[in-house]
Amino acid sequence: MISQKHKFKKDAINLFKCNSMQEIEKDVEIIFKSNSKILPKNKNAKILIKPNFNNDLNALTGNSTDLRLIISVIKSLKKRKYKNITLADGPNCGINHIGIDVFKRLGLDKIAQIYKIKLINLNNTKPKKVKLTTNNALISHICLESDFIINLPKLKTHVEAGITIACKNYIGCFLGEEKRKIHDNLIPNIIRLNEIIKTDLIIVDALICMEGNGPGDGITKKLGYLISGHDPYLLDFTCSKLMGLNYKKIPFLKIAIKKNYISQQDINQIQKINPLAKFIPAKKTFFGRILLNNFFIGIRFNKSFQRFFNKGFIPWFLFKLGVRQDIYIHEEKNIEKLDAKSNLTKLEKQKITECMQVYCPLKLKTPSDKKCIQCMYCHQILPNLIKYKGNLGAFQMQLDRFGKFVREN
């Protein structure tokens, strides 16, 4: 149910307090019912679901869009008999460059198979040239030719942009290293993205968020909300207030105000909203300010130097300096089976039952169910109670980096 509603002249921003998979499903269905008038009449309309899967960190770290939200959206569309549904994103140029399959790691391939929808890596699609603020860049044709776009961003802080929610989520629509062209003039280009790509419906994943040095090296923060709207500028501004952040320190919002995408009346109204929490803002390190620029990035992706940046000491050293947020491990996880440990107490059995009810995207009752897609949500929450047979591979890094924060939330 709607827990807060904020009406503006151009839009209404709705907040839904939810925690379990069942609650998320119900709230997503409410969102779709309330938007029935704007949904395509044609059941063969090309519907694009654009989540945030910029790298292989799963939703419980606070980085990517929650599978529970994605599945709930797919179910609501399927319930309405839509037949041409595409789930698509373009993972960041670093992880794409070294050939890691983000979709497979996060279980999206299995979700697409279960629900019979298309799953597309936008980095590998037919390009179309569009004009940015200072140059041209290649964007996926899918993002320009879809009939209805559902933007499913994650709520996070961001070292360069201040926040990354609805407006910035469209960077993933650009092909591979074309994303770097956006960074030539990042802040104005965040606004430009939303002038190029139309938005029909936005549902922000504010269930488990990220604060501090996001989008990939921050601290997991549980908020427990879905936030819906249609206007990306108003929605991001509202979210910044809900996060307890000063909009004057979020540079792309200042441009949106200057361009009158956000009016003074909107500002006055948003300022009356009480924050849901106080997020720790992101801060760029000294070395990040020097080295996090396109000249350095150009060297990093040069074929002559790429082997030095993909593995070994250099990527580790850059991570320690705060220049690089991501640690990419090439070894894939290979889980033969997930199951509860033996000889459980009554309290431990109850914890597992509650965990599955809250976190399992497929609403399975036990991690040993044959339908399990091995998203590893249950193991992240209860690593001492839910065991695995096999090898965690790259997923072990996520447990090491974020496990403590995930369990504390």
Domain layout of the chain by residue ranges: 2-288, 334-391
- Res 380 pLDDT > 90: yes
For residue 93, what pLDDT band results from cuts at 50, 70 and 90? confident
Confidence category of residue 291, pLDDT binned at 50, 70, 90: very low
Is residue 294 scored above 60 in pLDDT? Answer: no
Cα gap 96→88, rounded to integer Å:
14
pLDDT at 313: 54
The percentage of residues in the chain with a pLDDT greater than 70, rounded to a whole number, is 89
What is the distance between the alpha carbons of residues 79 and 72, in angstroms, rounded to a whole number? Answer: 10
Task: Render pLDDT for 315-344 as a digit per residue (tens, 0 to 9).
Answer: 555 555 555 556 788 899 999 999 999 999
Q: What is the mean pLDDT of residues 357-380?
A: 96
pLDDT (0 to 100) of residue 218: 92
Residue range 117-173, pLDDT digits in tens: 999 999 999 999 999 999 999 999 999 999 999 999 999 999 999 999 999 999 999
Whether 165 contacts 225, CB under 8 Å:
no
pLDDT at 308: 47
Rounded Cα distance, 169 and 172, in Å:
6
**CB of 204 within 8 A of CB of 227?**
yes
Multiple choice CATH, 2-288, 3.90.930, 3.40.50, 2.30.29, 1.10.3470:
3.40.50
CA 131 remoteness from chain centre: 25
Q: Which residue has the tokens 């650009």?
A: 174
Tell me: the pLDDT tens digits for 193-211? Answer: 999 999 999 999 999 999 9
- At 286, the pLDDT band (50, 70, 90 cuts) reads very low
pLDDT at 359: 97
> Model confidence at 292, in pLDDT bands (50, 70, 90)?
low
Q: Tell me how far apart the alpha carbons of residues 212 and 163 are, in angstroms, rounded to a whole number.
A: 10
Return the residue matching tokens 């580790």: 316
Between 376 and 293, the more confident residue is 376
pLDDT at 143: 98
pLDDT of residue 304 exceeding 60: no
Model confidence pTM above 0.85: yes
Q: What is the pLDDT of residue 170?
A: 98
CA-CA distance, 173 to 151, in Å (whole number)?
11
